[in-house]
């Protein structure tokens, strides 16, 4: 089983600043890595897939990078609506998924 580890657990950043979230896979997942955003009481929202491709309607301030076992989600200039929990998820095998434990992005 592929284990996904996110860091940090909580990230405190001021609005307008850059946020960098990390995700590590226990073995290579190539570029089969997605990022989701979840706000309280809401379902998750797909942000990034293929490690770096933004999903439909996702603002350009969200960007993803990495391959293999190390991945990064960067939010270039934080808006108030970006404070949420972010999950990475691997899908290296079709229809088999593993999520990371999440990073809570909070207002500093």
Partner 1 sequence: EVQLVESGGGLVKPGGSLRLSCAASGFTFSSYSMNWVRQAPGKGLEWVSSISSSGSYIYYADSLKGRFTISRDNAKNSLYLQMNSLRAEDTAVYYCARVDDSSANPDYWGQGTLVTVSS
Measured at the alpha carbon of residue 10, what is the angle toward residues 101 and 46, in degrees to the nearest 5? 55
Q: Does 34 bind partner 1 (CB under 8 A)?
A: yes
- Of the pair 30, 77, the CB lying nearest partner 1 is at 30
68 Cβ contact partners less than 8 Å away, ≥ 6 residues apart:
25, 28, 29, 30
Quick check: 44 binds partner 1 (CB under 8 A)?
yes
Helical (H) or strand (E) element with 56: none
Determine the interface stretch with partner 1 among 15-23, 67-75, 76-84, 95-103 (rule: CB under 8 A): 95-103
Fill in the DSSP letter of residue 69: T
Interacting residues with partner 1 (CB under 8 A): 1, 32, 34, 36, 38, 43-46, 49-50, 53, 55-56, 85, 87, 89, 91, 94-102
């Amino acid at each position: 089983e592929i284990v996904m580890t996110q860091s940090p657990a909580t990230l405190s950043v001021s609005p307008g600043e850059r946020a960098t979230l990390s995700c590590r896979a226990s073995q290579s997942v190539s570029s089969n890595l997605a990022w989701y955003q979840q706000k309280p009481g809401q379902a998750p929202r797909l942000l990034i897939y293929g490690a770096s491709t933004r999903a439909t309607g996702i603002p350009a301030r969200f960007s993803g990078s990495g391959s293999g076992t190390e991945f990064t989600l960067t939010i270039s200039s934080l808006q108030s609506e970006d404070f949420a929990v972010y999950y990475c998820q691997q899908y290296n095998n079709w229809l088999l998924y593993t999520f990371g434990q999440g990073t809570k992005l909070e207002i500093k």
